[in-house]
Amino acid sequence: MTELHRVPAETLRQQLRSIFVAWGMSEDLIEPTVDVMAETDLRGIDSHGIGMMPLYAELRSQGRITMQPDIKVVRETPVTALIDGGNSLGHGPSTIAMKLAIKKAKAAGLAAVTVRRSRHYGAAGAYALMAAREGLIGLASTNAGSKAIVPTRAKEPVFGTNPIAFAAPAKNNKPFVIDMATSTVAVGKVKLAVYNDKPLPDGWVVDPNGAGVGNAADAFDGFGRLAEGYGVTPLGGLASLSSHKGYGLAGMVEILCSMLPGAPFIGAMDDKSKHHTGHFFLVIDPSAFRDEGEFEGEVDDMINHLRGLAPADPNLPVLVPGDPEDLAYADRMENGVPVPEMLMQAMAGVCRDANVEFLLRG
């Protein structure tokens, strides 16, 4: 195991902020980006927070991210909108999109907003939670800029990990939140296996011949992406374990995030440098369907029932989606965000190239 360093949340935020300022990011996009990335790390989703910065630095150096984008609504109705992300990092336009969907859903009962010409937007759950914290149901998904998922019966990757996140408010409990890739594992988890010097579990990654991979370094290109020809399995892993379901879900996300807003389908592109990312956000107001408080109360009842189930292992109580992230948040707010030594070194390089002070070591 590689050494882990605990970094206070505010230090992590200051580090991110200083880099984005040095990169010339539009001032109004810095805080939304920092907010999403910091919350992602605090909630224990280490693959999508500060661990993405080396990749973001590479994309910026290649001119593939615009730091001062022209983000605009290009189509709109009372319950829908299409936003052009201006080729920016996805956190800013996605926050704008979800806030717009929330506003429209409060007025009309539900709303859908899509984004095109964007980039990686972090953890999908951060956006679904924005709706739940407003008393609404939120759904968020995105395609990805790198081929990762190998369809059932295929040898080559086609889809990104194409995540789906869903969040629903409860009356007294914290929101019910699910945030999952449609692959067996997110590509970021492969990167974390390298950072933490861990082997890959069976069924996570396959090589260009379709054989399983155990050494994470073999499948990792050093910038947060899978090496050429390597892929992750669809949710389920093996055909005998219904990997076709994960494959189908990945295709569904691709349709909502590529074909609907007009973003390119990465699977059909040979030159991925020309790819841009699309996102999909759906918000539903429960009060359009139920009397005030009924929905939230019944979600509470379900959550309490699930937590009250007898566990198969007395040492492992039954959890509700969102519980592990809430536990991680409480721990990391008190004790800091764990950062592996390899990521520390990578971040030191990002800071050096940006000519900003390296704050993470304290």
CATH number at residue 91: 3.30.1370.60
Q: What is the mean pLDDT of each run of 10 residues along the chain (362 residues)?
A: 88 98 98 98 94 95 96 98 98 98 98 98 97 98 92 92 97 97 86 83 87 86 77 91 95 98 91 88 98 98 98 97 97 97 95 98 80
The confidence score (pLDDT) of residue 1 equals: 53
Dump the DSSP string for 227-283: PTT-EEPBTTSSGGGTHHHHHHHHHHHHIIIIITTT---GGG-S-GGG--EEEEEEE
Tell whether 9 and 131 lie within a shared domain: no
pLDDT above 90 as % of the chain: 79
Total count of domains within the chain: 2
Task: Find, among 187, 182, 197, the residue nearest to 220 by Cα.
Answer: 187
- Asked whether residue 120 falls in the same domain as residue 244, the answer is yes
The pLDDT assigned to 47 comes to: 86
Quote the domain boundaries for residue 38.
Answer: 1-68+322-362
Pairing of strands 231-232, 277-284: unpaired
In a domain, 41, yes or no: yes
Query: 132 and 241, same structural domain?
Result: yes
Per-residue model confidence (pLDDT) at position 341? 93
Q: Are residues 145 and 255 in the same domain?
A: yes
Strands, sheet with 110-118, edge to edge from the N-terminal-most edge strand? 72-76, 80-88, 110-118, 277-284, 137-142, 164-168, 176-180
Do 264 and 332 belong together in one domain?
no
**Quick one: pLDDT at residue 272?**
73
Looking at the fold, whether 127 and 242 belong to one and the same domain comes out as yes
| pLDDT of amino acid 223 | 61
CA–CA separation, 143 and 258 (whole Å): 7
Does a structural domain hold residue 219? no
Asked whether residue 340 is assigned to any structural domain, the reply reads: yes
CB neighbours (10 Å) of residue 334?
10
The H or E element that residue 168 is part of is strand 164-168
Residue 44's nearest CA partner among 318, 334, 338 is 338
DSSP code, position 77: -
> 260 lies in a domain?
yes
The structure tokens listed for 330 are: 């409480």
Contacts for 50 with CB less than 8 Å, ≥ 6 apart: 12, 15, 16, 37, 41, 337, 339, 343, 347
The verdict on 45 and 176 lying in the same domain is no
| 147/35 Cα distance (integer angstroms) | 27
* CATH number, residue 63: 1.10.1530.10
Q: Are residues 104 and 168 in the same domain?
A: yes
Distance CA 199, CA 217 (A): 9
Residue 146: per-residue pLDDT: 85
